[in-house]
Every structure is written in structure tokens, then in C-alpha cells.
């Protein structure tokens, strides 16, 4: 499980673990059926720091319905996670990454064209999984794909002159990260048999938590004691489009990357970013308060609280 998240009752935690395991096993099964040329070009991007976040959110959301172990929950979780891994290939090209998840990125192992095609293939696999869910599930996956690409394009183009940089950053995060967690939650709870009202609530919670987690990760990366900034933020600085919460601290544009990140660690932008994370977390707690008190709600609350505590 993610660091700092206690799922409470051991029996409930075991059930959630089993649900996440089923999603991971389905993903592995799908990947094993790829043609050799795809397997060579598309390394398996597994998370190295514990349970993958989106499958966990799918399974936790499903616990709020009467049939949390429905096969559709597993398929939905696998489809969303496959979409996330597909976007990693595209991100690595945009960010000129060399390593992902402890292994050489596809663009380093091959070239940018191969990496993009590998990502496209993973999106196709996500679509194939989504097609098993019927029109409603497939539509949500398609809408999420469209929003994900929109966010990626918005981030790549950079901030327009008339748009506040922080607003631009937050919109990119909502579209690129929040959308995936929102879909993971909505699909999980929908296919477990919960009402539309509960499903819509979980979608809002997922978007809030996904966005807050992304910002929190940026804060941790910027505030790190390491002299080596993370790949995304360093690339943004080099490209002349540094992502908030760093925007306010750039000062002298001639500063080296190391000097810029030294400034960022004491920046007003970090304070503002932490306030935004706290606001999103508070909104998520308000949404959770509308749900019945149960192990799933308490686990989701612990997940929300961890988004704030991780950068303290």
C-alpha cells in the first residue's frame, strides 16, 4: 500500500489487496500476449514504490457497491492502468527521459518514434479491455483518453500569455492525472453495483485526490535535499516553461538548474502549492462525508490524508 495509508481491518485490507492483485495479473496476462516486437519495444512500467495508485483507487471505490469482486471491476482497473502506462511512453519522449521504473525508457532503448508507437499500442490494449465493459464503460474510458491527451497537449504547448501560470499548471494536472483517478474510481464503484449518485461522488473524489497527489509529488521533488531535480521539473526549466509551484522563484533567468532548484526549496510557490493541496484534500473530505460510514470510506479518508502528510 502507499506509504502512510492504513486500510484498517485486516480482513478488509486483504480483500483490497486481492482485488489489486487481480488487476495486476490481468495486465500481466494481456502483456504476455503481445507480439515479440511489442514486448521488445515497450518495457513493463511497473511502479516501484508499492501498490499502483489507480488500481488501488478502483478497488477501494468498488467496496462501496454490493459486488466489489465483480469481474468488470478488474477489467476496468486494468484498462485505466494500461492507459496510464501508455502515457508514460509519451511522457518519456516529451521529457527526454532515460530511465523509467528502474529500467531504460523505450525512447532510450530504441528511439522516440518507437516509444510513441509503443505508447499507442498500450492505448489500443486499454481500448480492447474497455470494450469488454459495454457501451457505458467504454464511453468513460474514451472520454478519459480524450481528456488525458488534451492535458498532455496543453502542457506541451505551455502557458498562453493571457493565462495565469498556476491556473495553467492546475488544469494540466487535473486533465493528465486527475482524470485517470476519477475514471478509476467511477468505473470501480459503478461496476460494483453502486448508484449513479455514489459513482459521481467517487469521480469527484478521485479527481481531487489525483490532482492533489500530483502536486504533492511535485512539492516533494522540488523540496528534496538532492541536488538532482526530478526529470519533469528539470525539463520544464530547460524548456523555458517551468511548472508551478516553482514559477515565482526563478528570479534570474541565467541561474543554473541547481541554483534554480535551491531557490525553489524556500519559495513562496511551495507555500502556495501546499495550500492548494490542503484545499483539494478538504474538498475530498467533504465529499467523503456524504458517503455511508464503512471501511471503504475510512480507507479513502486515510488516502486523502496521506496526500497532505507526504510533503510535510
Distance CA 74, CA 25 (A): 9
Share of the chain above pLDDT 90, in %: 46
Q: What is the pLDDT of residue 251?
A: 45
Q: What is the pLDDT of residue 116?
A: 80
Residue 134 has pLDDT above 90, yes or no: yes
Share of the chain above pLDDT 70, in %: 72
Q: What is the pLDDT of residue 247?
A: 46
Q: What is the pLDDT of residue 238?
A: 37
Residue 43 has pLDDT above 70, yes or no: no
Q: Where are the domains of the chain?
A: 10-228+253-309
Q: Which spans in 95-173 are helix H?
A: 106-109, 112-131, 134-157, 165-173
Q: What is the pLDDT of residue 245?
A: 46
Residue 7 has pLDDT above 70, yes or no: yes
Q: What is the pLDDT of residue 236?
A: 47
* pLDDT one-digit tens code per residue, 215-269: 888 888 777 655 444 444 433 433 444 444 444 444 444 444 455 455 555 566 6
Q: What is the pLDDT of residue 164?
A: 78
* pLDDT one-digit tens code per residue, 166-212: 788 889 999 999 999 999 999 999 999 999 999 999 999 999 999 99
Q: What is the pLDDT of residue 204?
A: 97
Lowest mean pLDDT among 104-113, 117-126, 201-210, 295-304: 104-113
Global pTM? 0.83
Q: What is the mean pLDDT of residues 262-285?
A: 79
Question: Residue 307's closest CA among 282, 272, 288, 270?
Answer: 282
pLDDT, greater one: 142 or 166? 142
Q: What is the pLDDT of residue 159?
A: 79
Q: What is the pLDDT of residue 308?
A: 75
CB atoms under 10 Å from CB of 80, counted, come to 32
28 close to 92: Cβ distance less than 8 angstroms: no
Q: What is the mean pLDDT of residues 51-58?
A: 90
Q: What is the pLDDT of residue 107?
A: 61
Question: Residue 189's closest CA among 72, 18, 65, 20?
Answer: 65
Element (H, E) at 83: helix 71-94
Q: Which CATH superfamily hosts domain 10-228+253-309?
A: Farnesyl Diphosphate Synthase (1.10.600.10)
Task: Convert 247-298 into a string of H (helix), E (strand) and C (coil).
Answer: HHHCCCCCCCHHHHHHHHCCCHHHHHHHHHHHHHHHHHHHHHCCCCCCHHHH
Tell me what the pLDDT averaged over the chain comes to.
80
Distance CA 306, CA 312 (A): 10
Instruction: Quickly tell me which residue has 455511508 as its cell.
Output: 292
Q: What is the pLDDT of residue 85?
A: 86
Distance CA 297, CA 195 (A): 16
Per-residue pLDDT band at 61 (split at 50, 70, 90): very high
Amino acid at each position: 500500500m502507499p506509504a502512510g495509508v492504513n486500510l484498517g481491518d485486516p480482513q478488509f485490507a486483504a480483500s483490497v489487496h486481492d482485488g489489486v492483485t487481480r488487476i495486476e495479473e490481468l495486465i500481466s496476462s494481456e502483456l504476455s500476449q503481445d507480439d515479440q516486437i511489442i514486448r521488445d519495444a515497450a518495457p513493463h512500467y511497473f511502479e516501484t514504490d508499492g501498490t499502483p495508485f489507480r488500481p488501488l483507487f478502483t478497488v477501494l471505490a468498488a467496496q462501496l457497491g454490493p459486488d466489489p469482486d465483480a469481474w468488470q471491476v478488474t477489467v476496468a482497473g486494468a484498462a485505466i492502468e494500461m492507459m496510464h502506462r501508455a502515457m508514460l511512453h509519451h511522457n518519456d519522449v516529451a521529457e527526454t527521459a532515460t530511465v523509467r521504473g528502474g529500467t531504460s525508457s523505450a525512447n532510450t532503448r530504441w528511439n522516440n518514434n518507437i516509444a510513441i508507437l509503443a505508447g499507442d499500442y498500450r492505448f489500443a490494449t486499454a481500448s480492447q479491455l474497455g470494450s469488454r465493459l459495454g457501451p457505458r464503460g467504454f464511453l468513460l474510458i474514451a472520454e478519459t483518453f480524450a481528456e488525458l491527451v488534451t492535458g498532455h497537449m496543453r502542457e506541451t504547448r505551455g502557458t498562453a500569455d493571457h493565462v495565469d501560470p498556476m491556473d495553467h499548471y492546475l488544469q494540466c494536472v487535473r486533465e493528465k492525472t486527475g482524470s485517470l483517478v476519477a475514471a478509476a474510481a467511477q468505473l470501480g464503484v459503478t461496476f460494483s453495483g453502486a448508484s449513479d449518485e455514489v459513482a459521481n461522488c467517487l469521480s469527484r473524489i478521485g479527481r481531487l485526490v489525483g490532482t492533489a497527489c500530483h502536486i504533492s509529488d511535485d512539492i516533494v521533488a522540488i523540496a528534496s535535499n538532492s541536488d538532482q531535480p526530478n526529470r519533469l521539473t528539470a525539463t520544464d526549466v530547460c524548456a523555458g516553461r517551468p511548472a508551478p509551484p516553482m514559477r515565482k522563484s526563478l528570479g534570474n533567468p541565467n541561474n543554473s538548474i541547481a541554483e534554480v532548484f535551491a531557490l525553489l526549496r524556500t519559495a513562496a510557490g511551495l507555500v502556495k502549492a501546499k495550500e492548494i493541496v490542503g484545499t483539494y484534500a478538504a474538498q475530498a473530505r467533504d465529499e467523503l462525508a456524504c458517503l455511508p460510514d464503512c471501511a471503504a470510506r475510512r480507507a479513502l479518508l486515510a488516502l486523502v490524508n496521506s496526500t497532505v502528510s507526504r510533503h510535510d
